[in-house]
Structures are given as structure tokens and as C-alpha cells.
Amino acid sequence: MAKGCAVNKTRSVVVGVAAVAATSVIAACGTTASNQSTSASPTSAQTSSSAPAAAHNHADVMFARHMIPHHQQAIEMSDMILAKEGIDPRVVDLAKQIKEAQGPEIAQMQGWLDQWGMSGMPGMSGMPTPGGPGSNGTHGNMPPDHGGMHGSGTETSSPTGSPMPGMGDMAGMEGMMSPGDMQALQDAQGVEASKLFLTQMIEHHRGAITMAQNEINDGQFPDAIAMAKSIVSSQQKEIDTMNQILSSL
């Protein structure tokens, strides 16, 4: 009888040892899995944080860099006409419409450049922002004259449209007004101011459409292409409206 008890006691000890061993193995496996999961997490986070920005190309960058100061000038022109007395109400409404449309587009394009790690238009730090220093027609730190980017004066592009020497970073911004053009608009009053604004803005819009069409043809970034298509559509409608107003002044 004592022998049977000893056997049972031995079996209990063996079972207990086996249970403890199994528990240790399970705990070790759980710790290993936890460590593997923990060590994998930084890698996953690092992969996520280093994911590349949406695909874009040189045409997208140039579109944003050129269109930002182009839009800024359109807003400056609109501010000039809105500050005058005796302007045709239709012209006033158009100027407000231009500001409302192009202001948010400037912010959106600047956001793209920031996202891509690109700066704004090189060498354009003197281009005045709406309402800022230089927005009263003095054009900040821009050179006294670019020599006929619009209207009379020394031509800045060849008959084929290629930039002439000295244009630098202004090349590629179609339809931009020269400081002389902007001063003429600043000085004009009444009906003459309305006519000059419309004439200048029609050319300015045509330039924007050309730039936008280049983005549609050559760009890669979907949002930039979508904006370019919107510019082509909206600004062509505004050109039609401006021509109608101009013919009745």
C-alpha cells in the first residue's frame, strides 16, 4: 500500500513539473511574439512616414511656380480697379470674382510646392502679395521696367515665343504686365481705367490659359491638372464676358 502511494506521489510530481514547463514555454513564446511585434512597429511606422508624395514632374512644379505670381498680379490689378471711383459695376463685379477665384488657388499651389519640398518662384521675392507692401503699383523690389512684357517697349520674347536674354525667371509666365503697364492702370481713371483693366486682363487671362494648357499636356500631378482645366474653362468664360463689356463701354 505504501508503494502505491509513492508511485502516485511520483506521478503527481511529474505532472506538476510538466505543467510548469508547458507554462514556461507558452510564456516564452508570448514574450517572443510581443518582442517581434514591438520591433516590427517602428519599421512599419518608418515605412509609412517615408512614403513618397503623390507623383509629380517638372511641368507640375513649373506650373505652380509660374502661376502663383501670375495670379498675384491679377489680384493686384483687381485691387487697383476696385480702389477707383467711377468704375463700371460690371467691371467691379469681375474684379471681385477674379480675387475670389484666384486667392484660394494661390494657397493651394503653394501647398503643393511645400509638399514637394520646392520653393516658390525663384527670384520673385519682390513680387508683391495682395494687400502687402508694393501692392499699390510700386511693385515692391521689382526692377524699374522689364521692357514691354506687354504693350510697347523692348520685346522680351522672340516671335517664336522663346525667352530673350535678361528675362530670367519671368520667362514662361505668359501675359504678365510690365511695371509700366501696371503704372498705366494705376494712373487711369473712370471709363479709361475700366477699358484698360479689361484690355490688360484679357491678355493676362490668355497667358494663364496657355500656361494651364501646357500643364494639361505635360503635367502628372492630378490636382494640378484638374486646376489647369478649371483655369482654362473659367478664364475663357471671363474673357468672353470682358470682351462683351469692353464692346459696350
The string of pLDDT tens digits covering residues 101-122 is 999 999 999 999 999 998 755 5
What pTM does this model have?
A: 0.63
Query: Which has the closest alpha carbon to 74: 198, 180, 166?
Result: 198
SS3 of residue 175 by DSSP = coil
Vertex 199, ends 247 and 179: CA angle to 5°? Answer: 160
Instruction: Tell me which residue of 182, 62, 35, 181 sits closest to 118, measured CA to CA.
Output: 62
- pLDDT score of 119: 72
d(CA 23, CA 62): 65
Domain 58-157+168-248 - what CATH class?
Answer: mainly alpha
Separation CA 41–CA 237 (nearest Å): 53
Q: Are 31 and 196 in contact (CB under 8 A)?
A: no
Which one has a higher pLDDT value, 151 or 171?
171
Q: Grid coordinates representing 119?
A: 520653393
Please determine, for residue 36, whether its predicted confidence score (pLDDT) is greater than 80.
Answer: no
Structural domain boundaries of the chain? Answer: 58-157+168-248
42-62, pLDDT tens digit by residue? 444 343 333 456 799 999 999
CB–CB of 208/235 below 8 Å?
Answer: yes
Extract the C-alpha cell encoding 215.
Answer: 500643364
185 phi, psi to nearest 5 deg: -65, -40
At 189, which amino acid appears? Q
Q: What is the mean pLDDT of the chain?
A: 74
| Residue-level pLDDT at 45 | 39
Does 4 have pLDDT greater than 60?
A: no
pLDDT at 125 over 70: no
174 confidence band (pLDDT: 50, 70, 90):
confident
Q: Higher confidence at residue 46 or residue 226?
A: 226
Q: How far apart are CA 19 and CA 7, in angstroms?
A: 18
Query: Scanning the structure block, which residue is given the C-alpha cell 507558452?
Result: 26
